[in-house]
Amino acid sequence: MPAPEPEGLAHVLVELSRQTERLAALDTREAEHFQAIAAQLQELGTALTAVEGTLNERQSALEVLDGLSGRLNLLSAKLDEVVPDEDGDPKIYRPGPAPRWWKLTGPERDQAITRLRGWIEQIYRPQYGHLATLGACWEQHPLCLFTLDWLMELWSVLYLQRRRGARDLAGQAEFQTRLLPAASEQMAVETARCEHVHGAPARKGQRVAS
């Protein structure tokens, strides 16, 4: 028959068994807590990824909006240029197609020459004095037609503008001091000695070489 265990030892063994069970329960509970925390961290990471994606999308959207804003401002500036002013005149003059004098005939040629004649009578002769040398037969000379066409269009580009900058001033100065005198001299020489003007009196503002 085995000897009975001391009373104190039995108490210790019971207490040890009880603490072991408590530790096991604590481990189980902590494991559950760890799993719960891990799940929450995973959810938080997913949420942060979604937020980051949203921020990236918003950043991309802002960049797109900035680009659209720049294009809108550019279009608005261009629209402001082409919309007529309060008097109904265009703010920026844009030259039309160059007449094809070598093939124009009939009404089309008459219409193109009428435009040149109007500019000559309203601008060229009354505004440029002795520089406006032009024979009466200028309509019969292709050189005069080509020259008057670009003179008229260049003058319109330089002077029919709502605003004027330093470049425009330089263009106006070059037009009057270099381009206009040279073109005027060419047309005067061209129309001075030809069968069209032979014996015909020169009009006011025209020069006929002897």
- Which tokens is 114 given? 């009428």
Model-level pTM? 0.53
Residue ranges covered by each domain of the chain: 7-83, 106-192
Q: What's the Cα-to-Cα distance from 75 to each of 18, 69, 92, 206, rounded to whole Å?
A: 84, 10, 15, 46
Q: What is the pLDDT of residues 190-201, one digit of tens each?
A: 988 777 654 444
> Where are the extended beta strands (E) located within the chain?
none
- Which tokens is 113 given? 């020459």
Q: What is the pLDDT of residues 94-139, one digit of tens each?
A: 888 889 999 999 999 999 999 999 999 999 999 999 998 888 889 9
Q: What confidence score (pLDDT) does residue 2 get?
A: 52
Q: CA 158, CA 176: separation in Å to the nearest integer?
A: 11
Q: What confidence score (pLDDT) does residue 106 get?
A: 92
DSSP code, position 187: H
Q: CA 184, CA 130: separation in Å to the nearest integer?
A: 10
- 154 forms bridges with which residues in the sheet? none
Query: Can you tell me which residue has the tokens 């000897």?
Result: 3
Phi, psi of 135 (to 5 degrees): -70, 155
Residues of the chain by 3-state class (helix, strand, coil), percent to 5: 70, 0, 30
CB 66, CB 74: distance < 8 Å: no
Query: Can you tell me which residue has the tokens 């020459």?
Result: 113
CB 156, CB 93: distance < 8 Å: yes
> Which residues in the chain come in under a pLDDT of 70?
1-8, 26-27, 31, 34, 72-91, 196-210
Sequence-distant (≥ 6) Cβ neighbours of residue 200 within 8 angstroms: 136, 137
